[in-house]
Amino acid sequence: MKRLLVLAALASVPTRAASLDVLVEGVRNDKGIVLVAVCPKEQFLRDTCAYRGRTAARVGEVSVRVEVPPGTYAVQAYHSEDGSGRLRRSFLGFPRDGIGFSRDAKFHYGPPSFADAAVRVGPEGGRVRLTLRYYD
């Protein structure tokens, strides 16, 4: 019984967040905003991704810090040039805004798999670098 109480108490202790610095390279202009989502597997490529950050666009590279619990994530970023915060798509469904993924996972006829973009974030946090690609 005592062991069960200890386990229950440990399970209820919140996991401390770690700082993940996402360096987004290849921003082509200073229009709009750059958005970053750090997603666990079940939230990857969905609007429900819980860990997000944003910053004003700047030509070249921007940095966005996102607080996340230690774990495995895929990072996705895009440059919303019109500042709407929504990813614009062409008539055929291709992104009209710059888009990129952790580990520079490639976008081939659709987004990469979670496994291709997965990165581990430890309790000490970390740093991820990715490059935006523009398809227009």
Each residue's pLDDT tens digit, 25-72? 999 999 999 999 999 999 999 988 999 999 999 999 999 999 999 999
Residue-range definition of the domain harbouring residue 21: 16-131
- The pLDDT of residue 5 is 47
How many domains, the chain? 1
Q: What mean pLDDT do residues 81-108 have?
A: 88
Residue 119: inside a domain: yes
Asked if 90 and 96 count as a contact pair (C-beta separation under 8 A), the reply is: yes
Q: Please state the pTM of the whole predicted model.
A: 0.84
Residue 7: pLDDT over 90: no
In sequence order, the β-bridge partners of residue 129 are 23
Asked if 119 and 20 count as a contact pair (C-beta separation under 8 A), the reply is: no
The domain spanning residue 96 has which CATH number?
2.60.40
